[in-house]
Structure 1
């Protein structure tokens, strides 16, 4: 049982190496090097066993490559061979050995009450070699689960919000059409992230998936910008019934992100893994956040002045809309600006993990917050639902 546990630990270490490769924590060359060296070791073992096959009579155990190490044709007794050099923690000049026992019957000794061949590989193990990587794998798993849960809740709540606003005809107006488009942009974003997280490898590795995700993230910002612009206009105009404005808002919300995404896509295609793409992405994010924050500050000043002059009452729907928008803009904007500067390269260890947890929590639950503020907690929606029921 002890040796079985040790072999299991070794398999876990190799599994961790593979997982780290596919999760982007180690480069492909590390695993490629292990695979190449193991294949070379196996080929050399096969040639060695053919060349040294005993020609005389006598009892001996047949040599073999048992997936882990190369064992020569051996007489009865304890047999030892050096630790396989393909293991990444085995350095040149290492003195460790792995052991088997050849019985007097000419067979390799098996473990007690088992058909598994006994092997002592304790000298070839290093339980701490992948310790930091194992912790990183666990952290990445936690972040992945958090992401899926957050975006799933956002997706379901947003779909329900869209359904409610679509069915309640008394809510059909420019203001709520803007809300619904904001919901839809978050829905598409949630779908793109969930597909990426559940592991559609062929999809997630394609440029199309990355481009679509960037586009929907951009749409989130620009529909939030539309919310701010509409509120700004509404505070200046007591009655706003011109539906033609909705077409302009549609172009701004769904069309403008293309002006950022298309150059980003071209730059990513031409300069993949080079410094230009992060710089372009940083400039893109800062531009969007800066514009939204400028409008945010102007809305605050205007709203305070109107409240002070009693031009807007606390029971006015414009006040409710302003309150919801003024909650969203700083929350989403501060999140975007702060975590644009606090990149992975600037923090390490637990600080990076904490940063990722906070950032991912805010990002994944944004859709749920939007649905609550603009639909579920919206007094107008609740009143219409009660009236129609």
Structure 2
């Protein structure tokens, strides 16, 4: 006797096919497994020996035959699930004594144990890759937090350009934090991926949102820099409003669409949404577009830089400094209704009386090296994952993990720790601090000396040094 539902209801509920034109490779594999299950198990006659059985079913991964109550059912591990090895072992499913499949207490859904299917060799490789991500994100978060503190503490660094940097740094920090949480509580636990709890999927959605925000703030950096250098009569306030809307707002729309579509797509809702899916391009498309547009911005900026350098180094022009080239650090210098950097930090410092080719080449190269991590253009080198052998793919994955997770550290070093303007301001602040401490100690020593002399009956004569000190 089968408990739970009729044969017709079971077959009709399981043998629903997907439109072939919209199938991804994993969907096609699932559909093939479903058809095979339908032909080999689901259409077989039901047992009529009078004993209690759990009903036959297909759970998107494995095909389960009628199973005697109080026993275990076994099935072959699916080969279409990433990280599973069908040759390793078999998955199993418990049939309760009342003829119902065992339900997981956290989800209250029928559950099968696919843990024996996990290829532990691949899992350990992925674990080492995840540790690289966690290490990189941790170091980057610490560096970015210190940089944010410096930017917020010193009033001399308050301008639109630094405001953009601060928002970009915040997006780096939030992205790193949520990915660390995701790796620690989900990706490193194979059982969590198999159980696929709601909080794991929610964490994946949050990671997707902040990752998209991070790329959009890189785009905002490129948009702002390109606008103030190339365009004219631009309102800095309007430009900042546009950057805020793009940086934090656009990702809400993309992520919401992605979440709704994927949550209603049964074959895309497994393994905490870690499996590759074409739906990811809803968010990834925005990230890729940001990188490509930033590359166009960089080319345009370098073109303007070379043009200005040609004009400045021309013998027909005097050697007065060019505001676009020299004013490139953090001092708020008005230009086209906005603010740009001043010369101390700068990637683009004018050096008179040198050959144009040498000067322009050095400055253009330095500008490119400085702007590449800020605009996220290093992702152009890892945008395409090569279909090579396992060794080549592992090397690509390690490089990708390093570039992605340590990017925040590189940006913090270039635009804060190694920046000339920031270093000069911090040195000046430290000098003022030492001067004030020295002044207080000097006043304290003079007060102690005067008190001692009065106590001993000696009144100091007003020497030149005393007079000058009072003045």
Instruction: Name the TM-score, length of structure 1 as normaliser.
Output: 0.61
Q: Which residue of 1 aligns with 2:148?
A: 162
Q: How many residues align?
A: 277
Alignment deviations for residues 174-201 of structure 1 (CA, whole Å, 9 cap, x no partner): 1101100000000000001111122255
Report the secondary structure of 1:26's partner residue.
coil
The alignment partner of 1:199 has SS state of: helix
User: Alpha carbon RMSD of aligned pairs, Å?
Assistant: 3.8
Query: Structure 2: which 5+ runs fail to align?
Result: 1-78, 97-114, 187-191, 269-276, 313-321, 330-340, 349-365, 431-471
Find the partner of 1:269 among 263, 266, 288.
263
The partner residue of 1:356 within 386, 397, 410 is 397
Structure 1 residues 144-174: Cα deviation after superposition (integer angstroms, max 9, x where no partner): 2211110000010011110111111111111
Moved more, 169-178 or 230-239: 230-239
Structure 1 Cα separation of the partners of residues 83 and 160 of structure 2 = 47
Structure 2 Cα separation of the partners of residues 372 and 388 of structure 1: 20
Tell me how far apart the structure 1 counterparts of residues 130 and 198 of structure 2 sit (CA, whole Å): 14
> 1:383 aligns to what?
424
In structure 2, what is the equivalent of residue 217 of structure 1?
Answer: 211
- Is the 1:232–1:299 Cα contact (8 Å) retained in structure 2? yes
State the secondary structure of the residue aligned to 1:360: helix
| CA apart distance, 1:206 | 2.8
Distance 1:176 1:384 in 2: 14
Structure with more helix by fraction: 1
Matches of 1:193 and 1:145 in 2, distance apart? Answer: 11
Q: Match of 1:341, SS? A: coil
Once the two structures are superposed, the pairs formed by residues 105-144 of structure 1 within 5 Å of their partners are 133-144=119-130
The aligned residue for residue 296 of structure 2 is 294
Secondary structure class of the residue paired with 1:309: helix
Q: Is the 8 A contact 1:224 1:329 kept in 2?
A: no
The one of the two structures with greater contact order (alpha-carbon pairs below 8 A, sep at least 6) is 1
Unpaired runs of 5+ in structure 1?
1-20, 40-87, 90-128
TM-score normalized by structure 2? 0.51
Task: Tell me the distance in 2 between the aligned counterparts of 1:203 and 1:376.
Answer: 42
Aligned-partner SS, 1:33 = strand
Q: Is the 8 A contact 2:213 2:248 kept in 1?
A: yes
The 5-angstrom pairing of residues 1-389 of structure 1 reads: 25-26=83-84, 33-34=91-92, 133-199=119-185, 206-236=200-230, 242-271=236-265, 273=267, 275-310=277-312, 311=322, 312-313=324-325, 316-317=328-329, 318=341, 320=346, 327-329=370-372, 333-342=376-385, 346-389=387-430
For residues 268 and 321 of structure 1, the distance between their equivalents in structure 2, rounded to whole angstroms, comes to: 44
